[in-house]
């Protein structure tokens, strides 16, 4: 059962505490912290997990997927360095929470989800939670959206066993892609496209994600 759409002073206070914790953990981007403070994470999860909504932990959602730990959302978003108006491709819409953080920051968002149930849920829920339009697609994230590319930024929110070449090819020159790579645990990896044929790769430590799967469900 999803939450009724209410956001109380208690919830807002809990978000303030969460933002303070994220600052302690090293998140510095004021715009990212503002987005975390503004977006009611408890509305993106099942009612039974409300008490954990503002704990810094991942939580289960439908189809054996998760809503990422707030620190992970903040870390990936900070690393992405989005600017207002950027065209952003998100792989793994999930609950729509990370999508909402990106939309709050003023990007033009294109997001792919491979689980049909999650795709339909988020398609209905997202317009009620944030007053910015997202372009949502049901499909295979490994393939990206070649007919809409290139993208200024690409964010992958599931663990990929390797870097999909289709996604690299859809990144604009000067663009940044953040992707967790590995099986079991993943290394958060940043790819910067410095020219048509040259990419700069930087690793940022281990994280834990659900696996990035290929086939549509």
Domains of the chain and any CATH numbers: 59-207 (3.40.50.150)
Residues of 34-64 as b/e, b for ≥16 C-beta within 10 angstroms?
A: ebbeebbbbbbbbeebeeebbbeebbebebe
Low-confidence ranges of the chain (pLDDT < 50): 1-2, 217
User: For this structure, is 169 an active site residue?
Assistant: no
pLDDT score of 2: 44
pLDDT score of 157: 94
pTM: 0.93
Q: In angstroms, rounded to a whole number, what is the distance separating the alpha carbons of residues 98 and 105?
A: 11
Strand partners, 109: 88, 134
pLDDT score of 210: 79
Helix (H) or strand (E) segment spanning residue 111: strand 108-113
Encode pLDDT of 71-124 as tens digits. 999 999 999 999 999 999 999 999 999 999 999 999 999 999 999 999 999 999
Q: Are 177 and 201 in contact (CB under 8 A)?
A: no
- SS3 per-residue string spanning 66-110: EECCHHHHHHHHHHHCCCCCCEEEEECCCCCHHHHHHHHCCCEEE
């Amino acid at each position: 059962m999803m939450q009724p759409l209410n956001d109380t002073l208690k919830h807002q206070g809990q978000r303030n505490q969460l933002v303070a914790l994220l600052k302690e953990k090293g998140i510095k981007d004021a715009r990212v912290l503002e987005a975390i403070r503004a977006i009611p994470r408890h509305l993106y999860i099942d009612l039974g997990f409300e008490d954990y909504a503002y704990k810094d932990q991942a939580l289960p959602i439908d189809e054996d997927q998760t809503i990422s730990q707030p620190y992970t959302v903040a870390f990936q978003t900070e690393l992405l360095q989005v600017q207002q108006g950027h065209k952003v491709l998100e792989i793994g819409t999930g609950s729509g929470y990370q999508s909402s953080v990106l939309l709050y920051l003023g990007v033009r968002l294109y997001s792919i989800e491979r689980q049909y149930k999650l795709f339909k849920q988020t398609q209905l829920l997202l317009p009620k939670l944030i007053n910015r339009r997202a372009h949502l697609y049901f499909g295979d994230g490994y393939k990206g959206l070649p007919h809409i590319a290139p993208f200024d930024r690409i964010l992958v929110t599931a663990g990929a066993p390797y870097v999909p070449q289709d996604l690299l090819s859809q990144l604009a020159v000067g663009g940044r892609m953040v992707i967790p790579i590995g099986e079991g645990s993943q290394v958060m990896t940043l790819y910067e496209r410095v020219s048509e044929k040259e990419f700069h790769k930087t690793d940022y430590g281990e994280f834990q994600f659900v696996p990035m799967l290929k086939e549509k469900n």
